[in-house]
A and B are shown apart, each in its own frame.
Chain A
Amino acid sequence: MSLLATASLVLTRAFPASEEVPFDDAGYHTEHWLFAPTWETIIASAASIIVFTAIYKFAGPTIKKAMSDRTAGIQAELDDSAAAKSDAEAEAVRIRQAKGDIDSERSRLYAEADAQATALLADGRERLDAEMAELEVRADAEIASAADRSADELRAEIARYSSDAVELIAQDALDDATQQELIESFISRVGASS
């Protein structure tokens, strides 16, 4: 039960006659069409004062503390929001900076890749040219070698066939008279030398 209700009950008990308005033939009627009777007003006012005083006394610090806590909470939230905003702005700056760094890094990487690709291409072309030149030299040497080999083989073949041919011709030409002539020639020549 609230304090106001308690006070009303006490006053009603203490002044029961106040509700009893003089009865006349026309029935009960209020003394004033707007205001309560004076004593009721006084009692009600006193009760109100008491109640509000009690409220102020007993509930005021709690309410005040609650309000203060609420204010502090709101302030903390505001501060957190401000800090978050600051952090967000810093993060945004960092991101923008990072984005800028990324852009510059990307540009640098692109430039570096272009340079490397160019160098690689130039190196590859140079190496290819060198290899081509070397291959050409080697091919020329091999062609020359093959030509020499072929010539040598041809000469050897010619020599072999010539030798075989000479041998066959010699065998045909070496009749008995020629054999005797060769023997006599040998005897004469050896005999002449001493």
Chain B
Amino acid sequence: MSDALIEGYARALFEVARAEATLDEVEDELFRFARSYESSDALRNALTDEHVPAEKRQAIVEDLLGGKATATTTQLVSMVVGSGRSRDLPAIVDSLVQRASSAKQLDVAEVRTAVPLTEDQRVRLRAALENSTGKSLNLKVIVDPAVLGGVVAAIGDTVIDDTVRTRIDQLQSRL
């Protein structure tokens, strides 16, 4: 899909979420769903299989998100999947997050941890990152068991990595 088309979808999702006054929540849910989509081969295969009818793929989305996400999020994802743009869902969501952050004059900070952060930790982590980078940040936390432990934060081109996975990789390189 072209960048213009991705931007078009992202703008449409953004406008819907903003009109519904659930932008923050929808943005966060879409972000987490996009990361789950990226990390799960089964989900990706199910949603991109062209032999599976669009209605069935939409039903999968509704089963996954129903009751766990807002209705707006579920409908937006279902719309993207129903239009056959499942492969571009992460890019569309990233563009949406970027657009939302820009609207709030924030930079996106993508944080990965092995275990979920508490709300207090989220607040303190955002504050610490803002203090470190000098930017106002829209914190997006992804729970990724692959990091094993610790935290890695990516703000634009800046990456602050203090994960167990990276240390093990460094140790392996030294060995």
Residues on A close to B: CB < 8 A?
Answer: 155, 158-160, 162-163, 166-167, 170-171, 174, 176, 178-180, 182-191, 193-194
Contacts and interface: CB of A to CB of B under 8 A. Distances in A.
A186 B162 contact: yes
Interface string B154-165: 000000101010
A24 to B, nearest CB: 177
A149 B162 CA distance: 34
In the complex, the 9 A-B pairs of residues with the closest C-beta atoms, listed nearest first:
A191-B128, A159-B175, A186-B151, A163-B172, A190-B128, A182-B150, A174-B149, A179-B115, A186-B162
Given A166-B171, A174-B114, 5 more contacts: A162-B175, A170-B148, A183-B113, A183-B125, A194-B132
Given A179-B149, A183-B150, A191-B128, A158 B175 contact: yes
A178 B150 CA distance: 9
Given A183-B113, A187-B121, A194-B134, A170 B153 contact: no
A173 to B, nearest CB: 9
Interface residues of B, number: 25
Given A179-B115, A186-B162, A174 B148 contact: yes
A186 to B, nearest CB: 4
B143 to A, nearest CB: 11
Contacts of A178: 149
B131 interface: yes
Contacts of B128: 187-188, 190-191
A178 B121 CA distance: 15
B172 to A, nearest CB: 4
Contact of A187 (B124, B149, B168, B171): B124
Contacts of A160: 172
Interface residues of A, dominant DSSP: helix
A179 B124 contact: no
B149 A182 contact: yes
A178 B127 CA distance: 22
A186 B132 CA distance: 12
B129 interface: yes
Nearest to A184: B121
B117 interface: yes
A184 B124 CA distance: 9
B131 A182 contact: no
B131 A191 contact: yes
A186 B151 CA distance: 7
Given A174-B114, A178-B149, A186-B150, A194 B175 contact: no
A190 B129 contact: yes
A31 to B, nearest CB: 169
B125 A187 contact: yes
B168 A194 contact: no
A174 B113 CA distance: 13
Contacts of B160: 186, 190
Contacts of A174: 114, 148-149, 164
A191 B162 contact: no
Contacts of A155: 175
A153 B110 CA distance: 38
Given A163-B175, A166-B168, A176 B149 contact: no
Interface centre among A159, A187, A189 (most CB of B within 10 A): A187
Contacts of B162: 182, 185-186, 189
Interface string B108-123: 0000011101000100
